[in-house]
Structure 1
Amino acid sequence: MLTCKLSPQLFKLNLLQIVRRQVKSTYGQKSPTEYIPVYSFPYIQSLAFIHKAKVYQTAATFIGIPASFALSVANVFSTQVCSSITVCGITGCMLLHTLGYLTSNTIGIVYLHKDETKSKVSYLDAWGSRRDVIIDLKNIVPFSDQPTRFTDPLYLRFQQYNSKDKYKMNVKYGIVLDPKKFQVIFHKNSD
């Protein structure tokens, strides 16, 4: 008889490890060599984790609240436990959705094409996934042409002339990798 002993540690994959793997596979990708990285936000993986946790928390809340009410009706546990589960679930959802709203469309990396006519912007969408958009440099609104906002110490808005999409560029913790190429993207065009 053939027996196999499995360690219980093999089955101890927690949510954080799974999300880290997904985020690293998404944000660990290299850009093609035709684009040169100009700006990087090193904490984009942490923001992606918030968005992924938001999805899992919402699913757990939608499953947990009806289940707790059903178990309360069946007298498995008291109504105080049911109300505690409800309050914790809804509070957690509100917190994570608020953080997710504040951090959605955050730019992780900005690339400049070698011919200096296009820029590729990699940003975080509402689901915690990386999205890439290629923008013509003539369509980028320079920071000097944008009105001052109360959020400017935290992030600047990356806007386009021909689109309503707005992205957030963190100025406090973001790293400008190539200042000259950064100015090529965000300087005021004299056309």
Structure 2
Amino acid sequence: MSVSCLIRARASGNWLCHLSKQNYFSSAYTFCSSSSLLAQSAAYKRTLCSANYATTATTTSTASDNASTNWTTIYRLPLIRLAAGFQRLKIYQGTLTTLAVPAAFGLSQAEHVSPDSVLVISAIGVSGLLTLSLCSLVVRNVIGFIYINEERDKVKFAYVDFWGKRCETVIDIADLDVDWAKVRPTVFNLYQKIRLYGNKAQSFKLLLNHGVIVEPDIFTAIFGE
């Protein structure tokens, strides 16, 4: 009877030992798998951070290259603010006309003003808008500032567009068509046109009589006498 109990106890012990080993190896495998996943996740994060850093570094380098370009002023127009303000007058005129005509029509329907008043307000608003729009064509693309880079191969024009906004464009000096003899004189010699070889439709207006040449030697070397 004791021998049988011993055999059973030994069998139970072997089974418990086997179960314990199985649990141990299962836990070890789970821990190793989790460690492997964490290592892969960390490696992926390091790779992603490296890629982001490289992109940021490249972008910063490109931006710093553009910002590092030094421009020297060689010409400026003191009246450029006045020209920009004149260009914006048609915007105010158009806005006022858009508000005044419907208001006058509503007052006419309510019999507060005569129908002739509506016609007068409409005529003044539309004619004023057309006049300002036509006159602004003369002021369009007037150059306010001319800059030159350190290499002396590019110039930057700061000019006023049709809506009175400041615009800038960088042009190769070799692309400037500045032969004044080929340019037809303007009305009253108010301005001198600057054309481009690469774009015949694009032109700029230079007011030499009212502008200030900051660097006469550089300006003369580019645009001539």
TM-score (normalised: structure 2): 0.65
SS at match of 1:55: helix
2:158 and 2:167 in contact (8 A); partners too: yes
Contact 1:140 1:161 in 2 (8 A): yes
Which of 95, 103, 113 is matched with 2:139 structurally?
103
Q: Quick check: which one's helix share is greater?
A: 2
C-alpha distance 50-32 of structure 1, shift in aligned 2 (>3 A): farther
1:127 aligns with 2:127: no
Structure 2 letter corresponding to 1:139: D
1:184 aligns with 221
Unaligned runs of 5+ in 2: 1-66
Counterpart amino acid of 2:192? Answer: L
Aligned with residue 85 of structure 2, among 19, 24, 49: 49
Question: Hey, what's the Cα distance between the residues in 2 that align with 1:32 and 1:103?
Answer: 32
- How far does the alpha carbon of each residue in 1:135-158 deviate from its partner, in whole angstroms, 9 at most, with x for none? 000000123352332337110001
Could you tell me which residue of structure 2 aligns to residue 166 of structure 1?
203
| TM-score computed with the length of structure 1 as normaliser | 0.75
The 3-state SS of whatever aligns with 1:116 is: coil
2:178 equivalent among 142, 146, 160: 142
What is the match of residue 189 of structure 2? 153
**Which residue, 21, 34, 39 being the options, matches 2:75?**
39
Larger radius of gyration: 2
Name the structure, 1 or 2, with higher relative contact order (CA <8 Å, separation 6+): 1
Identity %: 27
Retained in 2: the 8 A contact 1:72–1:82?
yes
- Map Cα deviations across residues 109-136 of structure 1 (whole Å, 9 max, x no partner): 1111121100000010111110000000
Query: SS of 2:189's equivalent?
Result: coil
Instruction: Count the aligned residue pairs.
Output: 158
| Deviant stretches of 4+, over 3 Å | none
Aligned AA (2:176): I
CA RMSD of aligned residues (A): 2.1
Deviation at 1:89, TM superposition (A): 1.1
